[in-house]
Amino acid sequence: MSLPILLGLRLLAAILLYAFVGYALYLMWRTLQAQSVRLMERGQTPIRIGMVAANGQETVLAFTQPEFFIGRESECELFIDDSTVSARHARLSFHHGHWWVEDTGSKNGTVLNETPLTIPTIITNGDTITCGNTTFSVLLPE
Protein backbone atom coordinates (compact mmCIF):
# COMPACT_ATOMS: atom_id res chain seq x y z
CA MET A 1 0.00 0.00 0.00
CA SER A 2 1.20 3.49 -0.74
CA LEU A 3 0.73 4.82 2.81
CA PRO A 4 3.72 3.03 4.40
CA ILE A 5 5.83 3.95 1.36
CA LEU A 6 4.87 7.58 1.80
CA LEU A 7 5.69 7.40 5.49
CA GLY A 8 9.06 5.89 4.57
CA LEU A 9 9.71 8.73 2.12
CA ARG A 10 8.76 11.31 4.75
CA LEU A 11 11.08 9.74 7.29
CA LEU A 12 13.84 9.54 4.70
CA ALA A 13 13.42 13.24 3.91
CA ALA A 14 13.66 14.08 7.62
CA ILE A 15 16.74 11.90 7.99
CA LEU A 16 18.40 13.57 5.00
CA LEU A 17 17.58 16.98 6.42
CA TYR A 18 19.24 16.16 9.71
CA ALA A 19 22.05 14.37 7.90
CA PHE A 20 22.71 17.65 6.13
CA VAL A 21 22.76 19.68 9.35
CA GLY A 22 24.71 17.02 11.22
CA TYR A 23 27.24 16.46 8.46
CA ALA A 24 27.75 20.20 8.03
CA LEU A 25 28.45 20.52 11.75
CA TYR A 26 30.75 17.50 11.64
CA LEU A 27 32.66 18.94 8.69
CA MET A 28 32.98 22.27 10.46
CA TRP A 29 34.38 20.49 13.47
CA ARG A 30 36.77 18.47 11.33
CA THR A 31 37.92 21.63 9.59
CA LEU A 32 38.57 23.23 12.96
CA GLN A 33 40.48 20.17 14.03
CA ALA A 34 42.47 20.10 10.79
CA GLN A 35 43.22 23.79 11.17
CA SER A 36 44.55 23.35 14.71
CA VAL A 37 46.64 20.33 13.67
CA ARG A 38 48.01 22.29 10.75
CA LEU A 39 48.89 25.26 12.89
CA MET A 40 50.52 22.99 15.41
CA GLU A 41 52.52 21.18 12.76
CA ARG A 42 53.46 24.33 10.99
CA GLY A 43 54.63 25.72 14.33
CA GLN A 44 57.65 27.91 14.28
CA THR A 45 61.17 27.13 13.20
CA PRO A 46 63.44 27.09 16.26
CA ILE A 47 66.02 29.84 16.08
CA ARG A 48 69.41 30.00 17.65
CA ILE A 49 71.41 33.16 18.03
CA GLY A 50 75.15 33.02 18.28
CA MET A 51 77.22 35.89 19.68
CA VAL A 52 80.86 36.51 20.43
CA ALA A 53 81.61 38.15 23.76
CA ALA A 54 84.42 40.70 24.34
CA ASN A 55 86.68 37.96 25.72
CA GLY A 56 86.25 35.98 22.52
CA GLN A 57 84.01 33.35 24.06
CA GLU A 58 81.17 32.31 21.75
CA THR A 59 77.71 31.59 23.20
CA VAL A 60 74.65 30.20 21.41
CA LEU A 61 71.13 30.87 22.76
CA ALA A 62 68.06 28.93 21.56
CA PHE A 63 64.59 30.56 21.54
CA THR A 64 61.23 28.81 21.52
CA GLN A 65 58.91 31.81 21.79
CA PRO A 66 57.52 33.32 18.55
CA GLU A 67 58.71 36.82 19.41
CA PHE A 68 61.58 38.27 21.40
CA PHE A 69 63.50 41.48 21.84
CA ILE A 70 67.16 42.37 21.80
CA GLY A 71 68.05 45.18 24.21
CA ARG A 72 69.82 46.54 27.21
CA GLU A 73 66.71 46.35 29.40
CA SER A 74 66.64 43.34 31.67
CA GLU A 75 63.12 42.38 30.45
CA CYS A 76 64.48 41.70 26.99
CA GLU A 77 64.82 38.02 26.22
CA LEU A 78 68.21 38.67 24.57
CA PHE A 79 69.77 40.96 27.12
CA ILE A 80 73.07 42.67 26.20
CA ASP A 81 75.06 44.78 28.63
CA ASP A 82 76.40 47.13 25.98
CA SER A 83 76.05 50.91 26.22
CA THR A 84 75.69 51.23 22.44
CA VAL A 85 72.58 49.03 22.52
CA SER A 86 69.22 50.75 23.21
CA ALA A 87 66.85 49.61 25.94
CA ARG A 88 64.65 47.84 23.38
CA HIS A 89 66.78 47.67 20.33
CA ALA A 90 65.30 45.17 17.89
CA ARG A 91 62.51 42.63 17.60
CA LEU A 92 62.76 39.15 16.15
CA SER A 93 59.41 37.51 15.37
CA PHE A 94 58.07 34.47 13.53
CA HIS A 95 55.07 34.85 11.24
CA HIS A 96 54.06 33.93 7.72
CA GLY A 97 56.45 30.99 7.97
CA HIS A 98 59.59 33.10 8.47
CA TRP A 99 61.65 34.80 11.10
CA TRP A 100 61.65 38.57 10.75
CA VAL A 101 63.92 41.18 12.26
CA GLU A 102 62.77 44.72 12.87
CA ASP A 103 64.46 47.74 14.42
CA THR A 104 62.35 49.07 17.27
CA GLY A 105 63.56 52.65 17.10
CA SER A 106 67.06 52.17 18.49
CA LYS A 107 69.48 55.05 18.85
CA ASN A 108 72.34 53.52 16.89
CA GLY A 109 70.32 51.43 14.44
CA THR A 110 70.36 47.79 13.52
CA VAL A 111 72.41 46.40 10.68
CA LEU A 112 71.57 43.20 8.81
CA ASN A 113 74.48 41.82 6.78
CA GLU A 114 76.00 45.31 6.70
CA THR A 115 72.73 46.89 5.49
CA PRO A 116 70.98 49.22 7.95
CA LEU A 117 67.42 48.02 8.64
CA THR A 118 64.52 50.31 7.76
CA ILE A 119 61.65 47.85 7.40
CA PRO A 120 60.97 44.43 8.91
CA THR A 121 63.05 41.97 6.96
CA ILE A 122 63.17 38.19 6.62
CA ILE A 123 66.33 36.59 8.02
CA THR A 124 67.89 33.36 6.87
CA ASN A 125 70.56 31.01 8.16
CA GLY A 126 73.98 32.62 8.44
CA ASP A 127 72.73 36.21 8.48
CA THR A 128 74.41 38.57 10.89
CA ILE A 129 72.60 41.21 12.88
CA THR A 130 74.55 44.04 14.42
CA CYS A 131 73.15 46.07 17.27
CA GLY A 132 75.52 48.83 18.36
CA ASN A 133 78.83 47.17 18.80
CA THR A 134 77.48 43.66 19.26
CA THR A 135 77.08 41.25 16.37
CA PHE A 136 74.81 38.21 16.39
CA SER A 137 74.75 35.36 13.96
CA VAL A 138 71.50 33.70 13.00
CA LEU A 139 71.44 29.92 13.11
CA LEU A 140 68.36 28.42 11.46
CA PRO A 141 67.83 24.86 10.25
CA GLU A 142 68.19 24.65 6.47
Identify the helix (H) or strand (E) that includes residue 8: helix 2-42
- How many binding residues for other proteins (CB under 8 A)? 31
- Minimum CB separation of residue 46 from other proteins in Å reads 22
**Residue closer to other proteins (CB basis): 32 or 53:** 32
Identify the helix (H) or strand (E) that includes residue 61: strand 58-63
- 96, 114, 119, 142: residue in contact with other proteins (rule CB under 8 A): 96
Q: Give yes or no for residue 13 binding other proteins (CB under 8 A).
A: yes
- Using the contact rule CB under 8 A, the part of the chain among 31-39, 85-93, 98-106, 129-137 near other proteins is 31-39
Question: Could you give the CA distance from residue 122 to residue 94 in angstroms, rounded to a whole number?
Answer: 9
Contacts of residue 74, Cβ cutoff 8 Å, sequence gap at least 6:
none
